[in-house]
Amino acid sequence: MRILLDNFSKSFGSTKVIENMKLEVGSGEMLALLGPSGCGKSTTLFAICGIHRPTGGRILFGDRDVTDLPSQMRNVGVVFQSYALYPHMTVAENIGFPLKVKGVNAADIRKEVERISGLVHIGNLMERRPAQLSGGQQQRVALARALIRKPDVLLLDEPLANLDAKLRLEMRSEIRRIQRETGITAILVTHDQVEAMSMCDRIAIMKEGEIVQLATPADMYNDPRTAFVAGFLGNPPITFLRGVMKEGSFAMPESEIRVPVSIKAAEGTKLTLGVRPEHFNPAGDVSVVGKVTFAETQGRENLYDVQIAGGSLLRSIQPVRNDVTVGDEVKWAIDSKGVFVFDDDGRRL
């Protein structure tokens, strides 16, 4: 089921949170709403769900205008960060509850509960109560409960935020598998870029109530339109250098660094250079001397912060090596093919 936000706006009193948002989520697609705290992700999701009434614009499911429909008539499945299972009910009763409310008979409920619990792999937990489950198991129950009514749309707001790192990893791929198997159209709200990149077909990056870029994870990473987007994706994050255009290169007044850039800008134009950590290492083409101020091993890779002339930092990620520690001077190099150039307002050039 396609979801369309047509000039959707939402204010709380005089506070405008979203203004004229346009967004189309394709049928069967999983889309991430990604952005910093307070940018309006949940507000958007709540409006799609029917909890918030838009101040302006329309919301369509397929060709049907649902703007004025109450939540329970929209046929949406919802999973939030706190999954709020009913503590006194068993797992089976929790999952079957939405059907019971609808008046479905006991035999049919049992059949559906069995089907859906198989899908989310909790068939062996049916008689337990929520308190007797791990966080990941509880989240699976919440997901099963959201899916049992065969919703047209699945809405997820930070569903993994309460889980520990290992469970988060496991549930990331599980939610994606279930979304694919059911073919349901899904929107995932998150401020975790790794979650958005790994789980979704496309990502909408939001800033202050606006979608600033909408693209596949790969396009978003390789072709960010702004410094904000470039800074939001990538772990460890990109580093930025400030400089000016000089004779076809990015130049820093405080250092000898000259990075050839293939953009058109007048001499002296202020530029920001974005360098991802994988593009600063011994193999690059533009030599840079600096001092290691931070070193950390991440198991398979090492992470370094290197302070260069003028005090700016460059970050480097490299296969594990034991010959460099904090305080060392290094001569590594920027891969000029991998850099991004932005103007003074953060727009990509």
Ligand X SMILES: Nc1ncnc2c1ncn2[C@@H]1O[C@H](COP(=O)(O)OP(=O)(O)OP(=O)(O)O)[C@@H](O)[C@H]1O
Report the interface residues with ligand X, using CB under 6 A.
12, 15, 17, 35, 37-43, 191
Task: Tell the smallest beta-carbon distance from residue 197 to ligand X (Å).
Answer: 17
Query: Restricting to residues 130-189, which ones interact with Mg ion according to CB under 5 A?
Result: none
Rounded to the nearest angstrom, the gap between the alpha carbon of residue 293 and the centroid of all alpha carbons in its chain is 30
14 binds, among ligand X, Mg ion, none (CB under 5 to 8 A by kind): none
74 binds, among Mg ion, ligand X, none (CB under 5 to 8 A by kind): none
173: buried, middle or exposed (CB in 10 Å: 19+, 13-18, 0-12)? Answer: exposed
Strands (E), 224-349: 239-246, 249-251, 258-260, 270-275, 280-281, 286-297, 301-308, 313-319, 329-334, 340-342
Q: Report the residue number, 35 or 217, with the smaller CB distance to ligand X.
A: 35
Task: Tell the smallest beta-carbon distance from residue 8 to Mg ion (Å).
Answer: 16
Task: Tell the smallest beta-carbon distance from residue 191 to ligand X (Å).
Answer: 5
Q: Report the residue number, 41 or 276, with the smaller CB distance to ligand X.
A: 41
CA atoms lying within 13 Å on the CB side of residue 305:
12
Q: Report the residue number, 162 or 281, with the smaller CB distance to ligand X.
A: 162
57 binds, among ligand X, Mg ion, none (CB under 5 to 8 A by kind): none
Query: Restricting to residues 32-61, which ones interact with Mg ion according to CB under 5 A?
Result: 42
Q: Report the residue number, 36 or 310, with the smaller CB distance to ligand X.
A: 36
Neighbours of 338 (CB within 10 A): 14
Residues 19, 209 contacting (CB under 8 angstroms)? yes
Task: Tell the smallest beta-carbon distance from residue 129 to ligand X (Å).
Answer: 29
| Residue 68 amino acid letter | D
Question: What are the strands of the beta sheet with 56-61, ordered from one edge?
Answer: 15-25, 3-12, 56-61, 64-65
Which residues of the shown chain bind Mg ion in the complex (CB under 5 A)? 42
